[in-house]
A and B are shown apart, each in its own frame.
Chain A
Amino acid sequence: MNILETQSLTKIYGSGETMVHALDDVNLEIKRGEFVAVVGMSGSGKSTLLHMLGGLDRPTKGSVHVDGKEIFQLNEEQLTIFRRRKIGFVFQNYNLVPILTVYENIVLPIQLDGNIPDKAYLDQIIHTLGLEQKLNNLSNNLSGGQQQRVAIARALAFKPAIILADEPTGNLDSKTSQDVLSLLKVTSQKFGQTIVMITHNEEIAQLADRIIHIEDGKIVGGALA
């Protein structure tokens, strides 16, 4: 079953002379539990694609189905709630809340939804990501690699339908990158988590189950599962 599906997804920026097709008629299918890498040069449209998949931006044309739901039929508020329940983000620059502790950052999406975190599950994630000792630290006192682990933990916490990772190792050195990537891989397998990762690095992409290539807003390979 496809956890994620796009149909004729198109995003156009500007108009007339300066019109740019950031995404051009993208059709994509991703199965539950898959670890997919989207690879492309800068400006190829991979970030735009990720934003569309996560409901951060609205397309010019086409649709995105997450877990069987057409997400752009939701209004802003509904979309936000859908996002925090179904989609976990991991950004290149971590995007943690500096005034909150590591633990508070991890459980933030759950608490925003008004729920009580599943303690056992959380302990498992925290253990897997090796964050036991850092839980009460403020997030901006951590190193880049640690911050990204917190971001991954936060994305996992809600048991989302998909995790969208945007160049998760872009700001990290190669050793730390390896750690983070293997953690992503491990979580994908251990928790059966669907992960879509964007990268421009073919080598990193090799870790994924499937690689989707994108060029000039069009998918040139690996679109179908």
Chain B
Amino acid sequence: MIKVKNNKVIANLAKRSFQSNPTRNCIAIFAIALTTMLFTTLFTITGTILHSYQQATFRQVGGDFHGGFKYITKEILDTLSKDPLIKESGARLILGMPADVPFHKAHVEVSYMDEVCVKSSFCIPDVGSLPKEGTNEMACDTRVLKLLGIEPKIGQQITITYRLGLDTNSAKSVTDTFTLSGWWNYDAASYASHIIVPLSYANNTLASYEKIHEKDKTGSWTLNVYLKNAAHIEDDLNTILERNGYQSKDQSTNNYIGIGINWAYVGAQLSQNIDAGTFILILLLLLLIIFTGYLIIYNIFQISVSNDIRFYGLLKTIGTTGKQMKKLILQQALLLSTLGIPIGLLLGYLCGNILAPVIMSTLSYKNVFVTTNPLIFAGAILFSLVTVFISCKKPGKIASKVSPIEAVRYTERTNVKKTNRKNKEHLNLFQMAFANLSRNISKTVLVVISLSLAVVLLQLTVLFTNGFDMEKYLQKNVVSDFIVANASYFQTNADFFSQETALPEEVIKDLEEQGTFTDSGRIYGATSNIKEFTEKDWYYQLHGKYNDKDTVTQMLEGEDTKEGLVTDDAQLYGMEKYPLDQLTVVEGDLSALYDSSQNAIAAVYHTDDYNVLEPDSHWAKVGDQVTLRYVDTMEYYDPQTGEVVTDITNVDEASLALRPSTYRDITYTVAACVTMRHSMSYRYYGTDAFVLNAKVFQKDSNTSGIMTYLYDTTKETNAAMEAFLKDYTENIEPTLDYESKQSYMDEFKEFKNMFLLLGSVLSAIVGFVGILNFLNAILTSIMARQREFAMLQSIGMTGKQLNQMLVFEGLIYTAFVIGISLILSLIMGPMFRKVLESILWFFTYRFTLLPIIVVTPIFILLGIVLPLVSYRFSSNHTIVERLRKSE
């Protein structure tokens, strides 16, 4: 085949054709920019969320290095760091941790880090510099300074006491005074705070310290590494070890070196962050954008080709090949893309950075890390170009297939072949408008569906959030206006209730001094071990829910038996009058529990989310005898031999078991079966629960640890109490925390608003796409009919009549959209109700057509305004010019 050098000619033709179509170009550039913008926005948001998640994970892990070798000597460190698989490495020498007040609740590490390590651990000082060698300088994060109560200022003298010897009992305490050389902001996501000291100081300190324990981490080095490839971190780390004669598998041998892999890099990370639903959502949005972009760009080129068909016919006549013709169109499209895409990228990036924090706040991420990852832009460019290419395909094909003779006679074909319309005596502009819409049924249907989809989505969102029933939610969760307890009580992963987390009586006094209580009461919790006696079958049933049978059997071996019953841990509450009032009696009579002279007990049953009693959630029935074992002391024993072990200093604790040594058994009669709301319970489950009178509880258990204090205040003083508690728990007793009715209401509103926001954003996007399709359909149909309109005007159709016809077209769209939305909403409402009521226990179906009612006037307005504006925009030529256009 002869290769002809005709690229220049084609390029020139493309350029000329391009220049002769300024209106088309404007619309096409706008469409391409819009498509790119949507892609960029989507990618920026996804990218920012992923990036922020990874950054948060890095901070949680403590660095962005790929992995590390733990607790090695300087010699090993030097050897390993030279391995060719390692791109860069940072070393850290661990000294110890301060453990005394004010550091007793914070994890703070004192160590030396080299520069790479500082960088990878996010410890580069924001103010000042790293400590200089040979000085007593130190750098730390703002949390350390805050805990110490020291104002961040370079040169501050800071005295810190910390322990050398991280895991041994024989820790050596060191107190030194440092000069603050710099600090960085503490990130709430990170677990540990750091104090960085110079290597010279670390070596001096370690010189006078002797390791007692083999596993003592003080004085050991950690080598954090960046590998050349992050794809197989674990394999690479092991390879490095093997090459140097070490391994990470067997701890008992002396060539063992522990490795750490930064799980922020683990390959499955992405799929873990993005669940299937999110993935599908992103995929759908991508398709939606491609589709929208395609529709607009395709239409523009399609019309442009139809309008210029004689031009293409001419080209064909003089010997332009089909391939060249396609190229001609593609080159114009690319030219338009080079103008449209950059605009889109810029707008999309701005849009994404505005929207990402909003969306992330609903996903409860704390910190937003803006990313300028080139992949975002590369992806957006790629997808935009793909959209442009697909859009040009068919118009290119039409142009390339055009026969010179046909081109001269070309008029856009309509699909309608026959009509049954009766000829009417009067002109019906409405009928004409209707016929115009049926010219391209698929386009009309598409516009109607895309707009209806937005309305239905909005309708469902509102139906959904409208059904959030605050009453149901509060009824289930809220017991009293306020609950005060130790902060750990309110945390989901906190330790079990103990004497340390009990509420001091003085606090209650402080609260009562506010003088606005209407009702109040204490709930005592068990701070010593309390056991019940139950049947073996029940034991299996209860613990079998969370464990397999063998484990339960093993657990059972540790329990005591008496008269055919086995002991099992039990939750016991001691309640004063007010909390007792809050219990729901299922069976029996609670009055005996108000009397401290009676031996009455209540068994606590569970309910499901819909407040339906689960009758099998407890074994005790009204009238049953319940024996509780109050354990006063425990002892260690060897489960193999059963022998009591008294001295545990030299024994591995894990090989021992605990059992009660002294205890008292007391029997009660079940007076009532009750249920209680989650917010007044221990907030953890797994054992049978009982309620006693507060005084009986204190007397029999010999403990009086107050778990929670519940109280109501007068309506007028609720806000003041809330403010008081907020200040009190933040500044006076920071170990305490509280929950209020208001906080539940706020939480619920926030929850509801999150869905409202997400749903509205989604509806807005779909609606935006729908309106674009609408505008596009109207604009392109007007552009395509320019000559027809000119002809209609030449035979005497006035501008007013023409506008009227176009408005009818717009209104027919609107009518269809509203009609279909209404029908779909009416059909889907009840279906939606069933699904939601089964998923959300606080959902109460309340039907509303408010969204459709609100949207209708907007759509009517659009139906009127869009055609008028489009016509005005496209009809700035005289009739003669437009009549001539294709001659």
Contacts and interface: CB of A to CB of B under 8 A. Distances in A.
Nearest to A80: B798
Interface residues of B, number: 37
A113 interface: yes
Interface stretch (B826-834, B864-872, B876-884): B876-884
A162 B699 CA distance: 118
B274 interface: no
B799 A77 contact: yes
B423 A136 contact: yes
Interface string A176-212: 0000000000000000000000000000000000000
A35 interface: no
B413 interface: yes
Central interface residue in A92, A135, A138, by most chain B CB within 10 Å: A138
B794 A95 contact: yes
A83 B880 CA distance: 14
Interface stretch (B104-112, B118-126, B363-371, B785-793): B785-793
Interface string B402-425: 000000010111101111010101
A162 to B, nearest CB: 14
A56 B435 CA distance: 27
A98 interface: yes
B795 A154 contact: yes
Nearest to A171: B409
A76 B802 CA distance: 14
Interface string A94-124: 0101111101100111011110110000000
B436 A99 contact: yes
Nearest to A137: B418
Contact of B788 (A88, A89, A98, A111): A98
A83 B794 contact: yes
Contact of B797 (A54, A80, A101): A80
B419 A101 contact: yes
B801 interface: yes
A95 B796 contact: no
Nearest to B884: A47
A11 B188 CA distance: 79
A116 B432 contact: no
Contacts, number: 101
A173 to B, nearest CB: 13
A56 B880 contact: yes
B509 interface: no
Interface string B843-887: 000000000000000000000000000000000001110010001
A107 B426 CA distance: 9
A218 interface: no
B417 A112 contact: no
B732 interface: no
Interface string B525-555: 0000000000000000000000000000000
B439 interface: yes
Contacts of B426: 111, 116
A113 B798 CA distance: 9
B800 interface: yes
B435 A99 contact: yes
Contact of A136 (B419, B438, B788): B419
Interface string A52-65: 00101100000000
A83 B798 CA distance: 10
Contacts of B414: 98-99, 138, 140
B410 to A, nearest CB: 11
B795 A84 contact: yes
A113 B801 CA distance: 10
A81 B423 contact: no
A77 B799 CA distance: 7
Contacts of B800: 77
B421 A101 contact: yes
A97 B409 contact: no
B796 A83 contact: yes
Contacts of B878: 56-57
Contact of A138 (B416, B788, B799): B416
Nearest to A105: B795
Contact of B792 (A97, A101, A113, A141): A97
B880 A95 contact: no
A85 interface: yes
- Chain A contact residues (Cβ within 8 angstroms of B): what range? 35 or more
A89 B798 contact: no
Nearest to B413: A140
A111 B427 contact: yes
B432 A100 contact: yes
Contacts of A77: 798-800
Contacts of A117: 425
Contacts of A109: 795-796
A171 B410 CA distance: 12
A93 interface: yes
Contacts of A85: 796
Contacts of B797: 80, 84, 108, 112
Contacts of A103: 423
A51 B880 CA distance: 7
B419 A89 contact: no
Nearest to B879: A56
Contacts of A57: 878-880
Given A57-B878, A140-B411, A141-B417, A101 B795 contact: no
Contact of A135 (B413, B423, B794): B423
A109 B414 CA distance: 23
B875 to A, nearest CB: 12
B420 to A, nearest CB: 8
A99 B798 contact: no
B798 A112 contact: yes
A112 B796 contact: yes
Given A116-B425, A135-B423, A99 B432 contact: yes
Interface string B756-792: 0000000000000000000000000000000110011
Given A57-B879, A138-B416, A80 B799 contact: yes
Central interface residue in A89, A93, A95, A99, by most chain B CB within 10 Å: A99
Contact of A112 (B416, B418, B427, B787): B427
A100 B416 CA distance: 10
Contacts of B799: 76-77, 80
Contacts of A80: 793, 796-799
A95 B793 CA distance: 11
A80 B425 CA distance: 22
A89 B790 CA distance: 12
A109 B791 CA distance: 11
Interface string B470-506: 0000000000000000000000000000000000000
Interface in B641-667: none
Nearest to B409: A171
A116 B424 CA distance: 10
Interface in A128-159: 135-138, 140-141, 154
B411 A98 contact: yes
A61 to B, nearest CB: 18
Nearest to A48: B880
A218 B25 CA distance: 39
Interface in A17-36: none
A104 B421 CA distance: 10
Interface of B: 409, 411-414, 416-419, 421, 423, 425-427, 432, 435-436, 438-439, 787-788, 791-801, 878-880, 883, 887
9 contacts: A57-B878, A77-B799, A80-B799, A81-B798, A85-B796, A89-B795, A95-B788, A97-B792, A112-B801
The 7 closest A-B pairs by CB, nearest first: A84-B796, A111-B427, A95-B791, A99-B435, A103-B423, A57-B880, A80-B798
Given A98-B788, A141-B417, 11 more contacts: A56-B878, A56-B880, A57-B879, A77-B799, A89-B795, A95-B795, A100-B432, A108-B427, A108-B797, A113-B796, A138-B414
